Amino acid sequence: MFSRSCEYALQSVLFIALNSKDGQAVGLKEIAASQNIPLHFLSKILQTLVKNKVLISTKGPSGGFALNKSPKQLKLTKIVEIIDGLDIFDRCCIGLKKCSDKSPCPIHFDYKIVKNKVKDVLNTKTVFQLCEDVKNGHSIVTYI
C-alpha cells in the first residue's frame, strides 16, 4: 500500500525516536545501517521530513536527526501524508481509473474496509505508542 520511501520514513522516524536520548541527534549512517536502507535514498527522505518539520537536522561530528516534537504528538498519518500523500486511500487497489462505490472494481468493497482500517490506525497511532510496543517487546524495528 505504501511506497518504499514511505516505509523507510516510518522505519526511520521510529528508529530515531527510540535512539534519540534527551533530544540528541541520531546519525544518518547509523539509521541507514540499522534499517538496511541505502544511505543516499534515506538522506533524501529524511530531508523531506525536515522540510516538513517532522524532524530537525544538525550538522557536524555529533550531528544527525531528531524529532521536532514529542513522539506523543506525532501521528503516523503525518509521515504518510508527507511522503505518499493521503490520496493513496482514494485509489483503486487494482489501478482502475473509474473505480468508485457506484462503479466498483471486483474487490472494491472488500479493499475499502482494509483501507479504512489502515487509515484509522494511522490517524490514531502515535510514534510514542510504537516506541512503547518496541520497549515492551511486542514488536521490533531492526532490519532482519
- Residue 14, domain CATH: 1.10.10.10
Q: At what angle do helices 108-124 and 76-83 cross, to 10 degrees?
A: 120
Q: Which residue range forms the structural domain that includes residue 79? A: 4-135
Element containing residue 57 per DSSP (H, E):
strand 55-58
Tens digits of residue pLDDT in 2-59: 999 999 999 999 999 999 887 789 999 999 999 999 999 999 999 999 999 999 999 9
Does residue 22 lie in a domain region?
yes
Does residue 143 lie in a domain region?
no
Question: Are the beta carbons of 76 and 10 closer than 8 angstroms?
Answer: yes
Counted domains in the chain:
1
Does residue 110 lie in a domain region?
yes
Question: Is the overall model pTM greater than 0.85, yes or no?
Answer: yes
Does residue 142 lie in a domain region?
no
* 3-state percent breakdown (helix, strand, coil) of the chain, nearest 5: 55, 10, 40
Does residue 141 lie in a domain region?
no
Does residue 31 lie in a domain region?
yes
